[in-house]
Copies of this chain bind each other. A is one copy, B any other.
Amino acid sequence: MIRMALVGAGFIGSVHAENLTAHPSIEFVGVYDVDEVRSNELAARNHTRAIDPVEVFDRSAVDAVLIASSTDTHAAHLRRAAEAGLATLCEKPIDLDLGDALDVVGTVASGGCPAMVDFNRRFDRDYAELHRAVHAGEIGNVELIQMTTRGPALPPLDYIAVSGGQMRDQTVHFFDLARWITGEDPESVFAAGSVFTDPRMTELGDVDTSVVILRMPSGALVQIDSARRTGYGYDERIEVLGSDGMIEAGRQRVGAVTRYRAGNLVTDGMHPGWFERVAPTYRTALDHFVAAIEDGTSIGPTLPEALKAQAIAEAAASSLRSGELETITYPAFAATS
Protein backbone atom coordinates (compact mmCIF):
# COMPACT_ATOMS: atom_id res chain seq x y z
CA MET A 1 0.00 0.00 0.00
CA ILE A 2 1.23 3.48 -0.86
CA ARG A 3 0.34 6.16 1.66
CA MET A 4 -0.79 9.22 -0.27
CA ALA A 5 -1.80 12.73 0.75
CA LEU A 6 -3.71 15.17 -1.39
CA VAL A 7 -3.10 18.91 -1.61
CA GLY A 8 -6.09 20.85 -2.93
CA ALA A 9 -9.79 20.26 -2.31
CA GLY A 10 -11.27 22.16 -5.25
CA PHE A 11 -13.02 20.56 -8.21
CA ILE A 12 -10.09 18.61 -9.54
CA GLY A 13 -8.96 17.78 -6.01
CA SER A 14 -12.29 16.15 -5.35
CA VAL A 15 -11.93 14.08 -8.53
CA HIS A 16 -8.56 12.86 -7.32
CA ALA A 17 -9.96 12.22 -3.82
CA GLU A 18 -12.50 9.73 -5.15
CA ASN A 19 -9.78 7.88 -7.04
CA LEU A 20 -7.47 7.85 -4.04
CA THR A 21 -10.27 6.38 -1.91
CA ALA A 22 -11.18 3.68 -4.38
CA HIS A 23 -7.66 2.62 -5.36
CA PRO A 24 -6.83 -0.82 -3.95
CA SER A 25 -3.11 -0.05 -3.56
CA ILE A 26 -3.46 3.36 -1.92
CA GLU A 27 -4.03 4.34 1.67
CA PHE A 28 -5.51 7.82 1.45
CA VAL A 29 -3.80 9.54 4.39
CA GLY A 30 -5.52 12.89 4.22
CA VAL A 31 -6.27 16.09 2.34
CA TYR A 32 -4.98 19.62 2.88
CA ASP A 33 -6.52 22.81 1.52
CA VAL A 34 -6.10 26.45 2.56
CA ASP A 35 -9.86 26.46 2.93
CA GLU A 36 -10.46 24.27 5.98
CA VAL A 37 -14.20 23.94 5.44
CA ARG A 38 -13.57 22.58 2.00
CA SER A 39 -10.94 20.09 3.09
CA ASN A 40 -13.10 18.89 5.98
CA GLU A 41 -16.01 18.27 3.68
CA LEU A 42 -13.92 16.49 1.10
CA ALA A 43 -12.30 14.31 3.78
CA ALA A 44 -15.70 13.37 5.22
CA ARG A 45 -17.00 12.25 1.86
CA ASN A 46 -13.92 10.10 1.29
CA HIS A 47 -13.32 8.24 4.54
CA THR A 48 -10.15 10.24 5.29
CA ARG A 49 -9.01 13.25 7.40
CA ALA A 50 -8.28 16.91 6.79
CA ILE A 51 -4.59 17.37 7.59
CA ASP A 52 -2.16 20.25 7.77
CA PRO A 53 0.93 20.80 5.58
CA VAL A 54 3.23 19.37 8.21
CA GLU A 55 1.36 16.09 8.06
CA VAL A 56 1.23 16.17 4.26
CA PHE A 57 4.99 16.31 3.98
CA ASP A 58 5.78 13.97 6.88
CA ARG A 59 7.91 11.24 5.34
CA SER A 60 7.23 8.88 8.23
CA ALA A 61 3.51 8.81 7.46
CA VAL A 62 3.31 9.63 3.77
CA ASP A 63 4.94 8.06 0.70
CA ALA A 64 3.59 10.25 -2.05
CA VAL A 65 1.69 13.48 -2.52
CA LEU A 66 -0.76 14.48 -5.19
CA ILE A 67 -0.65 18.24 -5.88
CA ALA A 68 -3.94 19.61 -7.13
CA SER A 69 -3.94 23.06 -5.56
CA SER A 70 -4.06 26.38 -7.43
CA THR A 71 -1.47 26.80 -10.17
CA ASP A 72 0.60 29.43 -8.36
CA THR A 73 1.29 27.02 -5.49
CA HIS A 74 2.46 24.00 -7.51
CA ALA A 75 6.13 24.98 -7.47
CA ALA A 76 6.30 25.48 -3.72
CA HIS A 77 4.58 22.16 -3.01
CA LEU A 78 6.78 20.32 -5.50
CA ARG A 79 9.86 21.75 -3.80
CA ARG A 80 8.66 20.79 -0.35
CA ALA A 81 7.77 17.27 -1.45
CA ALA A 82 11.18 16.86 -3.04
CA GLU A 83 12.89 18.06 0.11
CA ALA A 84 10.83 15.65 2.20
CA GLY A 85 11.74 12.77 -0.10
CA LEU A 86 8.19 12.14 -1.31
CA ALA A 87 7.12 10.91 -4.70
CA THR A 88 4.92 13.48 -6.43
CA LEU A 89 2.07 13.53 -8.90
CA CYS A 90 1.43 17.15 -9.86
CA GLU A 91 -1.24 18.84 -11.92
CA LYS A 92 0.12 20.88 -14.82
CA PRO A 93 1.74 23.37 -15.09
CA ILE A 94 4.80 23.25 -12.87
CA ASP A 95 4.85 27.05 -12.93
CA LEU A 96 3.64 29.49 -15.56
CA ASP A 97 7.04 31.18 -15.41
CA LEU A 98 9.38 28.99 -17.38
CA GLY A 99 12.47 30.13 -15.44
CA ASP A 100 10.86 29.35 -12.09
CA ALA A 101 9.65 26.02 -13.43
CA LEU A 102 13.18 25.20 -14.52
CA ASP A 103 14.48 25.91 -11.02
CA VAL A 104 11.93 23.60 -9.45
CA VAL A 105 12.68 20.82 -11.86
CA GLY A 106 16.35 21.10 -10.89
CA THR A 107 15.47 20.81 -7.23
CA VAL A 108 13.23 17.82 -7.76
CA ALA A 109 15.81 16.11 -9.97
CA SER A 110 18.54 16.54 -7.41
CA GLY A 111 16.24 15.04 -4.77
CA GLY A 112 15.94 11.87 -6.81
CA CYS A 113 12.31 11.12 -5.98
CA PRO A 114 9.89 10.03 -8.71
CA ALA A 115 7.83 12.95 -9.97
CA MET A 116 5.15 13.06 -12.64
CA VAL A 117 3.13 15.84 -14.22
CA ASP A 118 -0.48 14.89 -14.84
CA PHE A 119 -0.72 15.45 -18.58
CA ASN A 120 -3.62 13.09 -18.35
CA ARG A 121 -4.44 12.86 -22.05
CA ARG A 122 -1.55 10.44 -22.44
CA PHE A 123 -3.71 8.08 -20.38
CA ASP A 124 -6.76 8.40 -22.56
CA ARG A 125 -7.57 4.95 -23.92
CA ASP A 126 -7.62 6.11 -27.53
CA TYR A 127 -4.51 8.31 -27.44
CA ALA A 128 -2.59 5.57 -25.67
CA GLU A 129 -3.65 3.14 -28.39
CA LEU A 130 -2.52 5.59 -31.04
CA HIS A 131 0.84 6.07 -29.32
CA ARG A 132 1.27 2.33 -29.06
CA ALA A 133 0.44 1.79 -32.73
CA VAL A 134 2.79 4.52 -33.94
CA HIS A 135 5.65 3.26 -31.81
CA ALA A 136 4.99 -0.29 -32.95
CA GLY A 137 5.62 0.94 -36.49
CA GLU A 138 2.08 0.26 -37.71
CA ILE A 139 2.04 3.35 -39.92
CA GLY A 140 5.74 3.65 -40.69
CA ASN A 141 7.35 7.05 -40.21
CA VAL A 142 5.13 9.86 -39.02
CA GLU A 143 4.66 12.52 -41.71
CA LEU A 144 1.65 14.63 -40.79
CA ILE A 145 -0.39 15.02 -37.64
CA GLN A 146 -3.70 16.84 -37.29
CA MET A 147 -4.90 17.65 -33.79
CA THR A 148 -8.09 19.35 -32.76
CA THR A 149 -8.87 20.73 -29.31
CA ARG A 150 -12.11 22.63 -28.88
CA GLY A 151 -14.03 23.58 -25.79
CA PRO A 152 -17.78 24.15 -25.66
CA ALA A 153 -17.77 27.68 -24.23
CA LEU A 154 -15.37 30.44 -23.24
CA PRO A 155 -14.20 29.87 -19.66
CA PRO A 156 -14.75 32.76 -17.22
CA LEU A 157 -12.50 35.70 -18.01
CA ASP A 158 -10.96 35.65 -14.56
CA TYR A 159 -9.83 32.11 -15.26
CA ILE A 160 -8.48 33.16 -18.65
CA ALA A 161 -6.58 36.04 -17.00
CA VAL A 162 -4.47 33.68 -14.87
CA SER A 163 -4.37 30.77 -17.32
CA GLY A 164 -1.31 31.88 -19.25
CA GLY A 165 -3.30 32.10 -22.48
CA GLN A 166 -4.60 29.53 -24.97
CA MET A 167 -1.15 28.13 -25.87
CA ARG A 168 -0.04 27.50 -22.28
CA ASP A 169 -3.42 26.44 -20.95
CA GLN A 170 -5.21 24.52 -23.69
CA THR A 171 -2.90 23.75 -26.60
CA VAL A 172 -0.04 22.70 -24.29
CA HIS A 173 -1.65 19.28 -23.79
CA PHE A 174 -1.31 18.70 -27.51
CA PHE A 175 2.25 19.99 -27.61
CA ASP A 176 2.99 17.25 -25.09
CA LEU A 177 1.06 14.67 -27.13
CA ALA A 178 2.86 15.72 -30.33
CA ARG A 179 6.23 15.11 -28.67
CA TRP A 180 5.06 11.86 -27.12
CA ILE A 181 3.58 10.43 -30.30
CA THR A 182 6.42 11.40 -32.61
CA GLY A 183 9.26 10.93 -30.13
CA GLU A 184 10.65 14.21 -31.48
CA ASP A 185 11.10 17.75 -30.19
CA PRO A 186 9.64 20.26 -32.66
CA GLU A 187 12.20 22.75 -33.91
CA SER A 188 9.93 25.60 -34.99
CA VAL A 189 6.39 26.82 -34.57
CA PHE A 190 4.06 29.16 -36.42
CA ALA A 191 0.80 30.25 -34.81
CA ALA A 192 -2.08 32.46 -35.86
CA GLY A 193 -5.03 33.38 -33.71
CA SER A 194 -8.19 35.44 -33.54
CA VAL A 195 -10.71 36.62 -31.01
CA PHE A 196 -14.35 35.90 -31.81
CA THR A 197 -16.01 35.34 -28.45
CA ASP A 198 -15.43 38.41 -26.29
CA PRO A 199 -13.42 41.54 -27.14
CA ARG A 200 -11.96 41.52 -23.65
CA MET A 201 -9.92 38.50 -24.72
CA THR A 202 -7.92 40.93 -26.84
CA GLU A 203 -7.34 43.19 -23.84
CA LEU A 204 -6.03 40.16 -21.98
CA GLY A 205 -3.59 39.56 -24.83
CA ASP A 206 -5.18 36.20 -25.52
CA VAL A 207 -6.97 34.52 -28.43
CA ASP A 208 -9.92 32.10 -28.44
CA THR A 209 -9.31 30.47 -31.81
CA SER A 210 -5.95 29.52 -33.19
CA VAL A 211 -4.04 27.34 -35.60
CA VAL A 212 -0.50 26.16 -34.98
CA ILE A 213 2.06 24.45 -37.17
CA LEU A 214 5.01 22.57 -35.66
CA ARG A 215 7.91 21.30 -37.71
CA MET A 216 9.79 18.27 -36.42
CA PRO A 217 13.47 17.54 -37.13
CA SER A 218 12.40 14.60 -39.32
CA GLY A 219 10.32 16.95 -41.47
CA ALA A 220 7.06 15.73 -39.95
CA LEU A 221 4.46 18.50 -39.75
CA VAL A 222 1.92 18.95 -36.97
CA GLN A 223 -1.20 21.08 -37.21
CA ILE A 224 -3.21 21.94 -34.12
CA ASP A 225 -6.44 23.88 -34.13
CA SER A 226 -7.68 25.17 -30.79
CA ALA A 227 -11.00 26.83 -30.09
CA ARG A 228 -12.51 27.99 -26.83
CA ARG A 229 -16.13 27.94 -27.96
CA THR A 230 -17.73 25.46 -30.31
CA GLY A 231 -21.34 25.76 -29.26
CA TYR A 232 -21.67 22.02 -29.96
CA GLY A 233 -19.79 20.52 -27.06
CA TYR A 234 -16.28 19.36 -26.35
CA ASP A 235 -14.37 18.10 -29.35
CA GLU A 236 -10.87 16.73 -29.48
CA ARG A 237 -9.24 14.21 -31.80
CA ILE A 238 -5.95 13.32 -33.42
CA GLU A 239 -4.98 11.79 -36.71
CA VAL A 240 -1.50 10.65 -37.63
CA LEU A 241 -0.51 10.06 -41.23
CA GLY A 242 2.56 7.94 -41.74
CA SER A 243 4.51 6.46 -44.60
CA ASP A 244 2.54 3.21 -44.31
CA GLY A 245 -0.97 4.35 -43.42
CA MET A 246 -2.97 6.50 -41.09
CA ILE A 247 -4.33 6.09 -37.58
CA GLU A 248 -6.92 8.27 -35.94
CA ALA A 249 -8.33 8.76 -32.48
CA GLY A 250 -11.73 10.01 -33.51
CA ARG A 251 -14.45 12.06 -31.92
CA GLN A 252 -15.93 10.43 -28.86
CA ARG A 253 -19.62 10.85 -28.25
CA VAL A 254 -21.91 10.60 -25.28
CA GLY A 255 -23.99 7.70 -26.58
CA ALA A 256 -25.09 5.73 -29.59
CA VAL A 257 -28.68 6.84 -30.05
CA THR A 258 -29.84 7.97 -33.48
CA ARG A 259 -33.14 9.44 -34.57
CA TYR A 260 -34.06 8.80 -38.21
CA ARG A 261 -36.14 11.58 -39.63
CA ALA A 262 -37.24 12.75 -43.01
CA GLY A 263 -34.08 14.01 -44.64
CA ASN A 264 -31.62 13.36 -41.87
CA LEU A 265 -30.28 11.40 -38.92
CA VAL A 266 -29.94 13.05 -35.54
CA THR A 267 -27.34 11.45 -33.35
CA ASP A 268 -26.02 11.84 -29.84
CA GLY A 269 -23.53 14.68 -29.64
CA MET A 270 -20.15 15.32 -28.13
CA HIS A 271 -19.38 15.42 -24.44
CA PRO A 272 -20.59 18.66 -22.83
CA GLY A 273 -17.15 19.59 -21.54
CA TRP A 274 -13.53 18.56 -21.16
CA PHE A 275 -14.13 16.78 -17.89
CA GLU A 276 -16.72 14.33 -19.24
CA ARG A 277 -14.34 13.61 -22.12
CA VAL A 278 -11.26 12.83 -20.07
CA ALA A 279 -12.74 11.77 -16.73
CA PRO A 280 -11.43 8.19 -16.85
CA THR A 281 -7.86 9.38 -17.50
CA TYR A 282 -7.38 10.63 -13.93
CA ARG A 283 -7.79 7.13 -12.64
CA THR A 284 -5.58 5.63 -15.33
CA ALA A 285 -2.85 8.19 -14.72
CA LEU A 286 -2.98 7.40 -11.00
CA ASP A 287 -2.72 3.69 -11.80
CA HIS A 288 0.42 4.36 -13.81
CA PHE A 289 1.92 6.46 -11.02
CA VAL A 290 1.22 3.80 -8.41
CA ALA A 291 2.44 0.93 -10.53
CA ALA A 292 5.66 2.74 -11.42
CA ILE A 293 6.39 3.42 -7.76
CA GLU A 294 5.53 -0.11 -6.69
CA ASP A 295 7.56 -1.71 -9.45
CA GLY A 296 10.35 0.85 -9.53
CA THR A 297 9.77 1.40 -13.24
CA SER A 298 10.13 4.74 -14.93
CA ILE A 299 7.39 7.29 -14.54
CA GLY A 300 6.05 9.82 -17.02
CA PRO A 301 5.32 12.41 -18.18
CA THR A 302 8.33 13.62 -16.21
CA LEU A 303 8.91 17.19 -15.11
CA PRO A 304 11.52 17.77 -17.84
CA GLU A 305 9.00 16.57 -20.40
CA ALA A 306 6.47 19.01 -19.03
CA LEU A 307 9.09 21.75 -19.34
CA LYS A 308 9.52 20.94 -23.00
CA ALA A 309 5.80 21.20 -23.68
CA GLN A 310 5.87 24.52 -21.89
CA ALA A 311 8.80 25.72 -24.00
CA ILE A 312 6.81 24.96 -27.14
CA ALA A 313 3.87 26.90 -25.73
CA GLU A 314 6.16 29.87 -25.03
CA ALA A 315 7.39 29.90 -28.61
CA ALA A 316 3.86 29.50 -29.95
CA ALA A 317 2.71 32.44 -27.86
CA SER A 318 5.61 34.46 -29.28
CA SER A 319 4.59 33.52 -32.82
CA LEU A 320 1.02 34.60 -32.12
CA ARG A 321 2.37 38.04 -31.23
CA SER A 322 5.09 38.33 -33.88
CA GLY A 323 3.28 36.75 -36.81
CA GLU A 324 6.53 34.99 -37.60
CA LEU A 325 7.88 31.47 -37.54
CA GLU A 326 9.65 30.99 -34.20
CA THR A 327 12.51 28.65 -33.46
CA ILE A 328 11.91 26.70 -30.26
CA THR A 329 14.59 26.79 -27.58
CA TYR A 330 14.49 24.08 -24.94
CA PRO A 331 15.81 24.51 -21.40
CA ALA A 332 19.27 23.00 -21.16
CA PHE A 333 18.13 20.80 -18.36
CA ALA A 334 15.37 19.14 -20.23
CA ALA A 335 17.79 17.75 -22.76
CA THR A 336 18.25 14.67 -20.63
CA SER A 337 14.83 13.21 -21.26
Contacts A126-B255, A144-B211, A255-B125 given; indicate if A245 touches B260 (C-beta within 8 A): yes
Q: A241 at the A/B interface (Cβ < 8 Å)?
A: yes
Q: Chain B residue with minimal CB distance to A129?
A: B257
Q: Which of B193, B245, B257, B259 contacts A245 (CB 8 A)?
A: B259
In chain A between 117 and 163, which residues have their CB closer than 8 angstroms to a CB of chain B? 125-126, 129-130, 133, 138-139, 141, 143-144, 146, 148, 150
Contacts A45-B24, A144-B211, A210-B221 given; indicate if A260 touches B244 (C-beta within 8 A): no
Q: How far is the CB of A247 from chain B (nearest CB, A)?
A: 5
The answer for the CA separation of A175 and B148 in the assembled complex, in Å, is 21
Q: A262 at the A/B interface (Cβ < 8 Å)?
A: yes
Residues of chain B within 8 A (CB-CB) of A261 are: 231-232, 245, 269
The answer for the CA separation of A250 and B237 in the assembled complex, in Å, is 15
Q: Which of A53-61, A80-88, A212-220, A295-303 contacts B (4 or more CB under 8 A)?
A: A212-220
The answer for the CA separation of A21 and B47 in the assembled complex, in Å, is 10
Q: How far is the CB of A264 from chain B (nearest CB, A)?
A: 4
A231 touches B245 (CB 8 A): yes
Q: Which of B22, B223, B325 contacts A225 (CB 8 A)?
A: B223
A256 touches B246 (CB 8 A): no
Residues of chain B within 8 A (CB-CB) of A252 are: 256
Q: Which of B24, B190, B194 contacts A220 (CB 8 A)?
A: B194
Residues of chain B within 8 A (CB-CB) of A148 are: 146
Residues of chain B within 8 A (CB-CB) of A141 are: 196
The answer for the CA separation of A227 and B230 in the assembled complex, in Å, is 28
Residues of chain B within 8 A (CB-CB) of A241 are: 150, 209, 227, 230
Residues of chain B within 8 A (CB-CB) of A257 are: 126, 129-130, 133, 247-250
Which of A223, A241, A249: most chain B CB closer than 10 A?
Answer: A241
B221 touches A211 (CB 8 A): yes
The answer for the CA separation of A220 and B129 in the assembled complex, in Å, is 33
The answer for the CA separation of A323 and B193 in the assembled complex, in Å, is 18
Q: How far is the CB of A219 from chain B (nearest CB, A)?
A: 4
Q: A278 at the A/B interface (Cβ < 8 Å)?
A: no
Q: Chain B residue with minimal CB distance to A238?
A: B257
B245 touches A223 (CB 8 A): no
Q: A111 at the A/B interface (Cβ < 8 Å)?
A: no
Residues of chain B within 8 A (CB-CB) of A249 are: 255-257
Q: List 8 A-B contacts (CB under 8 A).
A: A133-B257, A143-B227, A194-B215, A209-B241, A233-B263, A247-B259, A249-B257, A253-B265
Known: A231-B245, A251-B256. 7 other contacts (CB 8 A): A193-B221, A194-B221, A196-B243, A231-B261, A233-B260, A237-B256, A266-B267
Q: Chain A residues in contact with chain B, CB under 8 A?
A: 18, 21-22, 24, 45, 47, 125-126, 129-130, 133, 138-139, 141, 143-144, 146, 148, 150, 190, 192-196, 209-211, 213, 215, 219-221, 223, 225, 227, 230-233, 235, 237, 241, 243-270, 323-325
